[in-house]
Amino acid sequence: MTTTADAEAALDAAGRAGGRAAASRFTRLHDFGIVLTVVVIVVALSLTTQTFLTTGNLVNLLDQAAVVGLLACAATIVIISGAFDLSITAVLAVSAIIAVVVTTHAGVPAGMIAAVLAGGALGAINGLVVVTVKVHSFIATLALSIMYRGLAVILTAGAIVYPQESRLQAFQALSWPTVLGGITASSLLFLLVAGVCWVVLARTTFGRRVYAVGGSEEAARLSGIRVGTIRVAVFAISGVCAALAGLILAARGGSAQASMGTGMELTAIAAAVVGGTSVLGGEGAIWRGLIGVVLITLIGNGFNLLGWDTIYQQVVQGALILGAVSFDRLLRGRRS
């Protein structure tokens, strides 16, 4: 004979099962809702414009996504680890300036290597400050961003710097189209780096530790993970991605200056968050950040092709960010 206690236990179990099922449905929506949004926009632009599906426009879309995509890879990795990096565009500027300066004195290969090393070093400094001073990463990287911008002004004396005329063509090699249907070298670099970051996060022990640190720093520490080392490594990777983005921007313009990339860090963070990377850390993926980049790039391209006022583009992007963060909160509430 069923007792009251047994009935309550059965109801409780049913409630938990229903909650898990609801959370699972929300998780699937969280994962693939953004993909569906991108598909809808692609279909809409294909039907409303005659130029969207042309080879030239698609190649241009990929090229436009390269810089923001590299910064989004950096932002995604850092956010998954439970931190923020607001200095990525300042690191981008300093790295690009170093690339030009070193190229002038030692050649293009040395300049590019110096830029990447500088980006990694500045990123590592970010991590060390966050770990040792124990200031919230948002504040720490904001302060460091101001410092790096100041360093960029000092290095350039507030002017635009150019490589030597004899080395300019080689310096701009990243902006050249390749034999693959006109796809630029910078686009291929972006896809390569994104693929490496994807594999590192999804398939390596280091990647699992990044997720663990972002999910619960204290639990990760108790399980034997060197949280400080992971944090510094994550910021160093972010710095390298920012440096590569700086090289692409410098190659496009054939120059570098202290104001390069200003404001693009917010677009990169927006792409990561809109793609489904949780601002609370511990959840996300590179592919999600890339989908966010595609979405934001498509919005900009759509505004241009349809002749809409680009002022409203910022309103749309802001609404997307707010919606993504709100949905993430809702999803976490369903899980708990």
Q: Quote the distance between the C-alpha of residue 247 and its chain's center.
A: 16
> For residues 68 and 190, what is the distance between their CA atoms, to the nearest angstrom?
9
Concatenated DSSP letters for 155-180? HHTTS-B---HHHHHHHTGGGSB-TT
- Low-confidence stretches of the chain (pLDDT < 50) are 1-2, 4, 7-26
Quote the pLDDT of residue 1: 46
Quote the pLDDT of residue 30: 56
List, for residues 184-196, the tens digit of each pLDDT value.
999 999 999 999 9
Quote the pLDDT of residue 328: 61
- Please provide the distance, in angstroms rounded to a whole number, between the alpha carbons at the two ends of the chain: 33
Is the pTM value of this prediction over 0.85?
Answer: yes
> For residues 306 and 311, what is the distance between their CA atoms, to the nearest angstrom?
14
> For residues 70 and 93, what is the distance between their CA atoms, to the nearest angstrom?
14
CATH class, range 35-335:
mainly alpha
Quote the pLDDT of residue 324: 67
Quote the pLDDT of residue 329: 63
- C-beta of residue 119 within 8 angstroms of C-beta of residue 93: no
Phi, psi at 161, each rounded to 5°: -110, 145
Residue 49 Cα distances to 38, 122, 299, 319, angstroms: 16, 44, 14, 24
Nearest to 65, CA basis, from 220, 203, 193: 193
Quote the pLDDT of residue 21: 40
> For residues 267 and 279, what is the distance between their CA atoms, to the nearest angstrom?
14
Cβ neighbours of residue 151 under 8 Å, at least 6 residues apart? Answer: 94
Cβ neighbours of residue 212 under 8 Å, at least 6 residues apart? Answer: 219, 220, 223, 225, 282
Quote the pLDDT of residue 310: 75
For the chain, what are the domain ranges?
A: 35-335
